[in-house]
C-alpha cells in the first residue's frame, strides 16, 4: 500500500499529527512504533486487581489554554482532577510544591513564623517563586529556608533524577517546581486539570480510529525509512518518499549518532501490590533522601479507584538511557554541551525538506503534555 505521510512514533505528538493528516488533508498515513502498543509513554492498562496503572509513570493532563483542553475533549471524556504531591524529608511527609506547611513542619514555631513573615514582606504580591530566587535573596531567613529545601530535596533529587550535579543542569529544570507562599496545596495552578474518564489508552484508540490511518507496531523507525545523506532525501521501501515524514523519537538515533550521543534519562519501575487501603499520603511522593529511588506513585489515588482493599504502587528509579536497552528514553538532559550537540542534529534535519521533528525526544525539550500537544498542532499547521 502507498502512503502520503509517515509518522514515526505513536505517542501524543505522532497521534495528533497523524489524525490531522488523515482527517483534514485526506491523506493515507502510516504511523509506526517500536513498542507493542499505542499511546507512547501515556499508555495505561488495568492490572490483575483491576487497578488502572500507567506503565511509564504518572500522567495527568493540565493546561491554561482552553483550545488545548477542547482538543483533548474531541477524543475522550475527562473528569476534573487536581493532582497532589508530597515529599518525605527527615522521615516526615510535607506537601509539594513546598508551602507554608513545609515551614511549620521543619522549623520551630518562632522561627517558622519569622520566615513566613519575611516571605510575605519580601513578596507581597507573589504566590510563589523558584528556589533559585530564594537562594539568592538578601534576607537571611529566606535564604536559610531555601538552603534547607535545596540541601534536603532539590539537590538530592536532582542528582538522582538527572545523574549529574545540580550545577550542570539547565536552570529551567530547577524552576519547574516553585515554592508556594501560602498553605495552598496542589501541584498545578492551571485552569484545566483533568484525567480521562476511561483511560489514556482509550483516548489514543479514538484519535487513531480513522480509515486513513494504518498502525504498525513492533516496528523500528530505521527499518521503515532511511535517510540518504548525499541527496538529502528520505527513502521508503527502496524509493524516494516525497510525502511528509514526522519523526518523534530520539533525534541522535535518527542520524546514527553522527555528532555524538545525546543524553536522555530513563526509568525503571518496581511494581508492588498490597492489601491496604492507602500506602502513602498522596498519589505521587518524592523520597529525595533515599539512596536509590526517586519517587513512588500510588495508582489507586491517580485517579481515586476502589479495589476491594488492594492498592498498586510503583517505585521509580532513574538511570541513564543507552541505545539498545529495554528501557525507554524519557527526559532529555539539558546541559550546555547537550544543547550544542542537539543544534548540530537540528541543522542536519532541516536539510531534508519533508522531514519534521516533533515531541520531547525529537525536539530535545522537557515538554509537559499540553506543551507537546501545542507543538504537534503547530506542526499540523505547517503540513
Residue 108 burial class via C-beta count within 10 angstroms: exposed 0-12, middle 13-18, buried 19 and up:
exposed
The pLDDT value recorded for residue 354 is 96
Range in 159-168, 305-314, 348-357 with the lowest mean pLDDT: 159-168
The pLDDT value recorded for residue 168 is 72
Q: Please give the full DSSP string across 117-183, using - where no structure is assigned.
A: HHHHHH-TT-SEE-HHHHHT-S-HHHHHHHHHHIIIIIHHHHHHHHSS-GGGS-HHHHTSS-EESSS
> What average pLDDT score do residues 321-343 get?
87
Peptide bond into 200 cis (omega under 30): no
Please say whether the beta carbons of 70 and 268 come within 8 A. Answer: no
Query: Residue 164: pLDDT above 80?
Result: no
Query: What's this model's pTM, rounded to 2 decimal places?
Result: 0.93
Q: How confident is the model at residue 163 (pLDDT cuts 50, 70, 90)?
A: confident
Query: Residue 55: pLDDT above 80?
Result: yes
Question: Pairing state of beta strands 264-274 and 311-320?
Answer: antiparallel
Q: How confident is the model at residue 166 (pLDDT cuts 50, 70, 90)?
A: low
The pLDDT value recorded for residue 177 is 77
> What average pLDDT score do residues 76-105 get?
97
Q: How far is CA 382 from CA 19, 244, 355, in A?
A: 14, 10, 11
Q: Which long-range contacts (CB under 8 A, 24 or more apart) does 221-226 make?
A: 221/8, 221/9, 221/32, 221/34, 221/247, 221/249, 221/254, 222/253, 222/254, 224/6, 224/8, 224/30, 224/32, 225/6, 225/8
> What average pLDDT score do residues 321-338 get?
85
pLDDT in tens, 123-155: 999 999 999 999 999 999 999 999 999 999 988
Range in 22-36, 155-169, 241-255, 276-290 with the lowest mean pLDDT: 155-169
Query: Residue 162: pLDDT above 90?
Result: no
> What average pLDDT score do residues 351-377 get?
96
> What average pLDDT score do residues 204-217 get?
98
Peptide bond into 97 cis (omega under 30): yes
Question: CA triplet 322, 39, 349: central angle to 5 degrees?
Answer: 55
Within 10 angstroms of residue 187's Cβ, the number of other Cβ atoms is 20
Q: How confident is the model at residue 169 (pLDDT cuts 50, 70, 90)?
A: low
Residue appearing with cell numbers 530547577 = 174
Domain extents in the chain: 5-74+195-261+334-381, 94-180
Question: Chain-wide mean pLDDT for the chain?
Answer: 94
Three-state DSSP class for residue 337: helix
> What average pLDDT score do residues 254-262 get?
95
Range in 154-163, 289-298, 368-377 with the lowest mean pLDDT: 154-163
CATH class of the domain defined by 5-74+195-261+334-381 = alpha beta
> What average pLDDT score do residues 271-276 get?
96
Please say whether the beta carbons of 254 and 326 come within 8 A. Answer: no
Query: Residue 88: pLDDT above 80?
Result: yes
> What average pLDDT score do residues 7-35 get?
98
Please say whether the beta carbons of 62 and 370 come within 8 A. Answer: yes
The pLDDT value recorded for residue 338 is 94
Dihedrals phi, psi of 66, to nearest 5 degrees: -60, -35
Which H, E and C letters describe 240-256, residue by residue? Answer: EECCEEEECCCHHHHCC
> What average pLDDT score do residues 237-265 get?
95
Range in 1-5, 51-55, 70-74, 90-94 with the lowest mean pLDDT: 1-5
Q: How confident is the model at residue 323 (pLDDT cuts 50, 70, 90)?
A: confident
The pLDDT value recorded for residue 333 is 87
Query: Residue 243: pLDDT above 90?
Result: yes
Please say whether the beta carbons of 137 and 146 come within 8 A. Answer: yes
Sign, CA dihedral 62-67-68-70, equals: positive
Please say whether the beta carbons of 302 and 60 come within 8 A. Answer: yes
Q: How far is CA 291 from CA 156, 161, 268, 288, 329, in A?
A: 9, 12, 15, 8, 22
Q: Which three three-digit cell numbers place residue 345?
A: 542534529
Query: Residue 174: pLDDT above 80?
Result: no
The pLDDT value recorded for residue 155 is 87
Please say whether the beta carbons of 65 and 58 come within 8 A. Answer: no
Amino acid at each position: 500500500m502507498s502512503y502520503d505521510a509517515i509518522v514515526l512514533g505513536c505517542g501524543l505528538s505522532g497521534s495528533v499529527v497523524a489524525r490531522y493528516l488523515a482527517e483534514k488533508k485526506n491523506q493515507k498515513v502510516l504511523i509506526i512504533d517500536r513498542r507493542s502498543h499505542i499511546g507512547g509513554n501515556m499508555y495505561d492498562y488495568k492490572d490483575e486487581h483491576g487497578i488502572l496503572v500507567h506503565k511509564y509513570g504518572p500522567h495527568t493532563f493540565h493546561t491554561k489554554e482552553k483550545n488545548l483542553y477542547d482538543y483533548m475533549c474531541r477524543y475522550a471524556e475527562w473528569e476534573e482532577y487536581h493532582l497532589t504531591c508530597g515529599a518525605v524529608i527527615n522521615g516526615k511527609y510535607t506537601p509539594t510544591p513546598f508551602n507554608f506547611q513545609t515551614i511549620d513542619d521543619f522549623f520551630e514555631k518562632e522561627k517558622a513564623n519569622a520566615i513566613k513573615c519575611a516571605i510575605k514582606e519580601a513578596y507581597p504580591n507573589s504566590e510563589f517563586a523558584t528556589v533559585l530566587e530564594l537562594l539568592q535573596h538578601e534576607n537571611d531567613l529566606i535564604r536559610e529556608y531555601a538552603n534547607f529545601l535545596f540541601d534536603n530535596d532539590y539537590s538530592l533529587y536532582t542528582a538522582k533524577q538527572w545523574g549529574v550535579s545540580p550545577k550542570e543542569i539547565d536552570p529551567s529544570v530547577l524552576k519547574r517546581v516553585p515554592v508556594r507562599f501560602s498553605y495552598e496545596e496542589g501541584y498545578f495552578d492551571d485552569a484545566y486539570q483533568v484525567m480521562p474518564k476511561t483511560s489514556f489508552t482509550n483516548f489514543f484508540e479514538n484519535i487513531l480510529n480513522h480509515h486513513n490511518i494504518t498502525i504498525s507496531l513492533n516496528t523500528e523507525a530505521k527499518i521503515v525509512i532511511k535517510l540518504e545523506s548525499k541527496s538529502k532525501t528520505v527513502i521508503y521501501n527502496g524509493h524516494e518518499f516525497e510525502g511528509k515524514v514526522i519523526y518523534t523519537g530520539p533525534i541522535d538515533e535518527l542520524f546514527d549518532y553522527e555528532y555524538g550521543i545525546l543524553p536522555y534519562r530513563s526509568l525503571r519501575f518496581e511494581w508492588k501490590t498490597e492489601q491496604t487501603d492507602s500506602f502513602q499520603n498522596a498519589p505521587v511522593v518524592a523520597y529525595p533522601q533515599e539512596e536509590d529511588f526517586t519517587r513512588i506513585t500510588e495508582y489507586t489515588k491517580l485517579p481515586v479507584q476502589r479495589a476491594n482493599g488492594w492498592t498498586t504502587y510503583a517505585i521509580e528509579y532513574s538511570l541513564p538511557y543507552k541505545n539498545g536497552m529495554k528501557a525507554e528514553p524519557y527526559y532529555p538532559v539539558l546541559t550546555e554541551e547537550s544543547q550544542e550537540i542537539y543544534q548540530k542534529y537540528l541543522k542536519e534535519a532541516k536539510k531534508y525538506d519533508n522531514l519534521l521533528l516533533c515531541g520531547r525526544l525529537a525536539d530535545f525539550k522537557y515538554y509537559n503534555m499540553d506543551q507537546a500537544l501545542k507543538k504537534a498542532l503547530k506542526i499540523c499547521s505547517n503540513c
